Amino acid sequence: MSAVAERLADIRARVAAACARAGRPVESVTLVAVSKLKPEALIRDAYAAGQRDFGENYAQELRDKAAGLEALAGLRWHAIGALQTNKVKYVARAAHAFHALERMDVARELSKRRMEAPLPCYIEVNLGGEQSKSGLRPEALGAFLEEARTLPGLRLEGLMALPPPTGDGEQARGHFRRLRELAREHGLTGLSMGTTHDFELAIEEGATLVRVGTAIFGERD
Ligand SMILES: *Cc1c(COP(=O)(O)O)cnc(C)c1O
């Protein structure tokens, strides 16, 4: 068994335990294995162990890995990093979901390129105030959604957040709870939240996708 397969088995068990604590079916949570900056060989190891959802931050890296791993049937790429309009084409071509929607010009470009197969999207929300730079402020969400909902090439699934790493579980839980409430206020059901350090708390607070990198693939350089 590869090291990645062993770590994946451990993470899956922790996901299942968190689901059990929250009284949620385990199928209600998608584990996205964040493979940014990691070689294709490790993605193949994870795929061989049954993993199908992978997260990448950088558009060109996503493009290259999607091409290199094209033969792996059923693999789903999640673009999870900030995106600029000149790189939209890579994400539009390769991604099965986009988790970091926060700019209307990017939304329009993505929509144009996905008319035939609307792209599932999560709007990134900045819950950390000054500490984190990416994402929409909660009060800007309503106006953004109103316009984004008119774009035929996007499917607005939910909200995404990357709360500042506090090391404080209760503070992280508060962020996740806030994201869940915001989603509900805006009629969205998807919640992309929780990483290596806090994915179990995120599941307890309703995450539908968790994005775990380090705990599966090891530390990044
Ligand atoms: C890198 C990254 C992750 C994974 O973080 P880990 O701490 O390695 O689990 C999740 N979400 C986003 C947006 C990231 O950039």
Digit-coded pLDDT (tens) for 150-168:
999 999 999 999 987 777 8
* Ligand 1 atom index nearest CA of 32: 10
Specify the pTM: 0.97
Q: Is residue 84 a part of any domain in this protein? A: yes
Q: Is 173 helix (H, G, I), strand (E, B) or coil?
A: helix
Report how far ligand 1's centroid is from the alpha carbon of 176 (Å). 15
C-alpha 74 to ligand 1 mean position (Å) = 22
171 CA distance to ligand 1 middle (Å):
18
Residues 27 and 203: their CA atoms lie apart, in Å, by 12
Does some domain include residue 220?
no
- φ/ψ of residue 34, rounded to 5: -85, 110
Note whether residue 221 is domain-resident.
Answer: no
Using one digit for the tens of pLDDT, what is the confidence trace for 31-82? 999 999 999 999 999 999 999 999 999 999 999 999 999 999 999 999 999 9
CA distance 41 to 23: 36
- Position 131 scores a pLDDT of 64
Nearest alpha carbon, ligand 1 atom 7: 196
Number of domains in the chain: 1
Strands (E) in the chain, as ranges, are 30-34, 53-56, 76-79, 97-101, 119-124, 154-160, 190-192, 209-212
Would you say residue 62 lies in a domain? yes
Q: Which of 13, 55, 63, 6 is nearest to 34 (CA)?
A: 55
In a domain? residue 219: no
Tokens found for residue 77: 């790429």
CATH number, position 168: 3.20.20.10
For residue 103, the enclosing domain spans 3-214
Q: Tell me, yes or no, whether 192 lies in a domain.
A: yes
Residue 199 Cα: closest atom of ligand 1: 9
Atom of ligand 1 nearest to the CA of 212: 9
Query: Does residue 33 lie in a domain region?
Result: yes
